[in-house]
A and B are shown apart, each in its own frame.
Chain A
Amino acid sequence: MSFTRLDATRRLMAMLDKEPVIASLGHPAYDLFAAGDRPENFYTWGSMGLASSMGLGLAMARPDLRVFVLDGDGSLLMNLGSLATIGWTRPPNLILIVWDNGEYGTTGGQETATRHGADLEAVARSMGMQTATTICTAEELDAAVARARTTPGPWTIVARVDENIPTVKPPLDYVMITKRFMSAIRVEAGSSDPAPRR
């Protein structure tokens, strides 16, 4: 039975409250939008590989928030160093979900290395994330997300999913995405910095 990335994204989002979610470009972002637009969603439109890095920065800046990242296997493979940095800095409030469909879905379905032996859970473990896990079903996703929401991380959840062809795309107004996101998590640009305003 198929378990698509869109199925998984919908299932995840139904479990979340107001947690910020940063999505990697292309299909992971499209499916996040399809699952339901909300101001706490940050849709990237480029910068392949950097969703987990951005999530790390947000998690360090805002320890009061539980930060979700929706990455892809191809994107994470482009920035494996990010796992080393997350494993070193160990933000307990970062939850990295990797949609692992074994292909570069957004660019036409070319195979990724995870279809040929690369094991992203094992990479995350080797970088210090002993809680890393791989899930293959909706029920396993529910259980892993429930655990990640209630116990300290950083979490890496590699979700084996099937590719689906998204039919909708998030807004192309990038500045709106930034400002709406910051407002939703209650940040005015520079508001929490300690520098005196002139």
Chain B
Amino acid sequence: MTTGSARATAWASAVCAGLHAVGSRHIVYVPDNPLSHVLRVLGEDYRDITTTLATREEEAFGIAAGLFVGGMRPAVMLQSSGLGNSINALTSLLIPFQIPVVIVISMRGDAGEWNAAQMPMGRAVRPILESIGIPHVTAESPETTAETIRAVGEMAFSSNLPAACLLPRRLTVPS
């Protein structure tokens, strides 16, 4: 029987398993609260994955671009609010130069949000990704998240374009 706290971070373990399965060995991130669980699991169970903390999301994508041209399969983790800080890197570097990255987006501003300052970008995340041509999939449950992320990563690295997995609050902040 799964305990409450194990269930609470099963999704985080699944994120790590999915990224590991698709071959990501270097993750660049800007932290947020739910992602702290992912970072804890990475630190405990995935010693073969290096993490680098960027000061800002656009910088994270620049670092990831360098990792890719150096032969790695990079991932970038960020909060949805930081997608706004990332657009120029995505549209003027990664997409035109065909530099893929797995993007893991911890959602704010979706169902369960309490902070109105998070809601406009929360509503805008999917339309923004669609308008710049980045495919996105939403993780639905802890049981399916690893496979969802692995599949998103395969999409990215076989198309040489970024692809995103969204982690909704109903997954990362269980009631």
Contact = CB atoms under 8 A, between A and B. Distances in A.
Interface string A147-182: 000000000000000000000000000110110011
A46 B54 CA distance: 20
| Residue with the greatest number of chain A CB neighbours at <10 A, chosen from B64, B70, B74 | B70
Nearest to B67: A57
- Chain B facing A: main interface SS: mixed
B129 interface: no
Interface string B28-72: 100000000000000000001010111110110111111111111
Interface string B100-130: 1000000000000000000000000000000
A174 B23 contact: no
Interface stretch (A81-89, A112-120, A128-136): A81-89
B51 to A, nearest CB: 11
A145 B130 CA distance: 45
Contacts of B66: 22, 53-61
A49 B73 contact: no
A85 B22 contact: no
A82 B63 CA distance: 9
Contacts of A82: 55, 59, 62
A48 interface: yes
Contacts of A193: 23, 25, 71-73
Nearest to B157: A190
Interface residues of A, number: 45
Interface residues of B, number: 41
Contacts, number: 140
A178 B58 contact: no
A182 B69 contact: yes
A138 B65 CA distance: 32
Residue of A22, A50, A53 with highest tally of chain B CB at under 10 A = A53
A-B pairs, top 7 by smallest CB distance, nearest first, are A57-B66, A46-B92, A61-B70, A195-B23, A53-B62, A81-B55, A50-B62
Given A61-B70, A178-B69, A178-B99, 20 more contacts: A46-B92, A50-B89, A51-B62, A54-B65, A54-B69, A57-B63, A58-B67, A61-B71, A62-B71, A65-B70, A85-B55, A174-B98, A175-B97, A175-B98, A191-B71, A193-B25, A193-B71, A193-B72, A193-B73, A194-B23
14 contacts: A47-B62, A47-B89, A50-B58, A53-B54, A54-B65, A56-B63, A57-B68, A58-B69, A61-B70, A62-B71, A81-B56, A182-B71, A190-B23, A193-B72
